[in-house]
Amino acid sequence: MKLSRACGCDRTSKRILLHHSPTDSAIVPEPEEIAAIREQLATIEELLARLFGPVVWSREPKCLTVRALAADLIERHFDGIAEQWTQAVRAIFSGPSHPHYDEARIAQLRIDLSNALSRLVDHIRDPDDIRTYVHLRRHCQEGMLARAKPSEFNTIHIALKQVILSHVKFRMAGPRMERVRDVVVAAIDERRLMVSQFYIESRERMLRESEEKYRNSINHAPDPMYEVEPHTWLVLAANSAAEKLHLETPGEEALPLLGRPLMDFVPVDLRAGTLKFLEEVVSTGLSSATDLPLGGGFFYDANGALISYGNRSFVQVILRDVTQRHEILDSLLKAERLAAAGTFAAGVAHEVNNPLASISSLVQSLQSGEDDEQRRATLHTILSQITRISGTLKDLMNFARPASGQRRPVNINSLVDETLRLASYNKRLSGIRIDPLLAPDLKPAFAGDKEIQQVLLNLLLNAADASPAEGGVIRVITENGRAGKGPDKMPQVAIKVVDNGKGIPRENLERIFDPFFTTKPAGLGSGLGLPLCQLIVLANHGTIRVDSEVGRGTEVTIALPVPDDAACAMVAP
């Protein structure tokens, strides 16, 4: 009677067996989940069968009979066992480090434990009923048990074992009680061992996911990243951006990246500085370097850090492509030089133009009254040279104060066609084939049409001067470019003028936008054409780049911004 009062059982429960089903939502496992659970369960069943014997824990008929007795006993005293288990768990987790159990929490705890107990009973009765382990495995992965400690789970089930065994002790006796007792102990131990496997499996999965997360974060980073061994400076690992940079490096396409010293990939004149950079990382933990010219016309900032893990460490080197920043700064410096040269040129042109006009007038007066043919020819030569000087002064004035037209959406293909018609009348282009390759879906550019036409005409004449007398070909290409990297990130259109001329020597490429610099023979160029083109393009928020190789020709690329949708509507069809 003492047990009946303690567990809430009554006399009718001895004769009536009620099946208690879970009230929570059933979990529908995936086939691979079932296979994993059954594989783990088979291993643990075999171990427990060796420990307790096949009569106590196996799938033999005698064992299944005893398991059914144990399940029946729990079913008859289900409410009492569930209540005692609830109170035991509440007592275990009543300390200051656990949440306070109010009536609502106690009621929910009772429901949760009752559902767990009902699934346990079903598995004790039928070893193939693994719903209890489906729920436990899911909870270990993503539910309550994922946030609990294994020791807490073990403590909860030790309490359950004690509650059930007390009922076995008071309701049974002799060998029958001992066999049921051993079955209960084996069932609880199996449950604890299975959950231990689930915990290990869950933690391994989380570890793999975490490793994959950070590995992918590094591997898909846009900046090249290297893992370098201290002191030997061997490259131990590299992300995909570093692999791509390696493949794009001339002479390295067929050579490995990993296992080689980092110095192999650094220009000879930078190796001493790179070694100092790496040694500083090892000694201080951090270091950085800026604007490193690593070949191919690209510049990088380098940041290094000493990364420790366990008893080992490596130097992490991250490169950031700052080529565009370097080009912008270089363009700003050139713009400043151009502005200074323009101011100087304006002053010179103004001072020279006035007396030159007087001289021209005097020569014309002398020429009109001169009867001597030889003298008239001499005066004509003087007047032609004065005209040439005037033209140079006009170029100087245009360079100093280039015309500033209104920017608006411009149909670049139409502008190219019009410019080519104008250029076709120029004798400098006679005998040269011009191939326009115009993109049919070209977006409009946002620029001053007259200014861009002036630039395009200048580039065509330069290409004509560089092209061979026979077999000269000039290609004019238009295409949609990628979005810029600036803060506005506006899309762009590109105009390319490509010739098959003699090309520009590498030592001259850096100077082609300098005022008064020219590679043409004396008297054939003032050296103001390309600087003026650069000023016009920059004033239209664009960029101009020259690529050339001696003996293969020159390619000049102009990139201009594309207007927004509202401005695009202004383009004439």
Give me the pLDDT at residue 143, please.
61
Instruction: Clarify whether residues 386 and 278 are in a common domain.
Output: no
**Which tokens go with 262?**
């980092």
Give me the pLDDT at residue 405, please.
58
Q: What DSSP string runs through 46-105?
A: HHHHHHH-TTTSSSSHHHHHHHHHHHHHHHHTHHHHHHHHHHHHHHHT-STTS----HHH
Burial of residue 148 (number of CB atoms within 10 Å: 0-12, 13-18, 19+): middle
CB 140, CB 195: distance < 8 Å: yes
Last residue of a domain, one of 345, 369, 400: 400
CB 405, CB 455: distance < 8 Å: no
Give me the pLDDT at residue 572, please.
41
Give me the pLDDT at residue 11, please.
44
Tell me 220's DSSP state. T
Q: Do the domain assignments include residue 279?
A: yes
> Tokens 């000039």 map to which residue?
474
Instruction: Clarify whether residues 207 and 267 are in a common domain.
Output: no
Instruction: Clarify whether residues 211 and 152 are in a common domain.
Output: yes
Give me the pLDDT at residue 411, please.
93
Per-chain mean pLDDT for the chain: 82
Determine which helix (DSSP H) or strand (DSSP E) holds 553, and give its type and residue range.
Answer: strand 553-561
Dist. CA 493–CA 483, nearest whole Å: 9
Dist. CA 232–CA 497, nearest whole Å: 49
This prediction has a pTM of: 0.51
> Tokens 């306070």 map to which residue?
100
Instruction: Clarify whether residues 354 and 438 are in a common domain.
Output: no
What ranges in 432-486 are assigned the alpha helix state H?
449-466
Give me the pLDDT at residue 569, please.
47
Instruction: Clarify whether residues 379 and 455 are in a common domain.
Output: no
Instruction: Clarify whether residues 424 and 560 are in a common domain.
Output: yes
Closest CA to 160 of 121, 188, 129, 124: 188
CATH of the domain at 101: 1.10.490
Instruction: Clarify whether residues 330 and 345 are in a common domain.
Output: yes
CB atoms within 10 A of CB 242: 24
Instruction: Clarify whether residues 292 and 368 are in a common domain.
Output: no
> Tokens 């693994």 map to which residue?
130
- Positions of the chain with pLDDT under 70: 1-17, 95-101, 143-148, 295-296, 331-346, 349-350, 391-405, 425, 482-489, 516-528, 565-573
Instruction: Clarify whether residues 246 and 162 are in a common domain.
Output: no
Give me the pLDDT at residue 486, please.
45
Instruction: Clarify whether residues 189 and 283 are in a common domain.
Output: no
**Which tokens go with 139?**
């909870």
Dist. CA 163–CA 84, nearest whole Å: 7
Give me the pLDDT at residue 424, please.
76
CATH of the domain at 449: 3.30.565.10
**Which tokens go with 511?**
């100077």
CA distances from 463 to 165, 179, 538, 547 (A): 99, 102, 21, 13
Query: For residue 497, what are the domain limits?
Result: 408-568
Q: Do the domain assignments include residue 573?
A: no
Q: Do the domain assignments include residue 28?
A: yes
Dist. CA 68–CA 126, nearest whole Å: 8
Side-chain half-sphere exposure of 451, counting CA atoms within 13 A = 28
Instruction: Clarify whether residues 202 and 245 are in a common domain.
Output: no
CATH of the domain at 379: 1.10.287.130
Dist. CA 286–CA 79, nearest whole Å: 65
Q: Do the domain assignments include residue 422?
A: yes
Give me the pLDDT at residue 132, please.
94
b/e map of 404-441 (b: 16 or more CB within 10 Å)? ebebbbbbbbbbbeebbeebeeeeebeebebeeeeeee
Give me the pLDDT at residue 104, please.
86
Instruction: Clarify whether residues 211 and 252 are in a common domain.
Output: no
**Which tokens go with 127?**
């070893």
Give me the pLDDT at residue 342, please.
64
Give me the pLDDT at residue 13, please.
46
The Cα diameter of the chain in Å comes to 153
> Tokens 């200014």 map to which residue?
451
Last residue of a domain, one of 400, 424, 456: 400
- Say which amino acid occupies 548: S
- The phi-psi region of residue 503 (left if phi > 0; otherwise alpha if psi is between -120 and 50; otherwise beta) is left
Q: Do the domain assignments include residue 552?
A: yes
Give me the pLDDT at residue 386, please.
81
Last residue of a domain, one of 158, 181, 216: 216
Closest CA to 88 of 188, 171, 162: 162
Quote the number of domains for the chain. Answer: 4
CATH of the domain at 283: 3.30.450.20
Bridge partner list, 313: 308
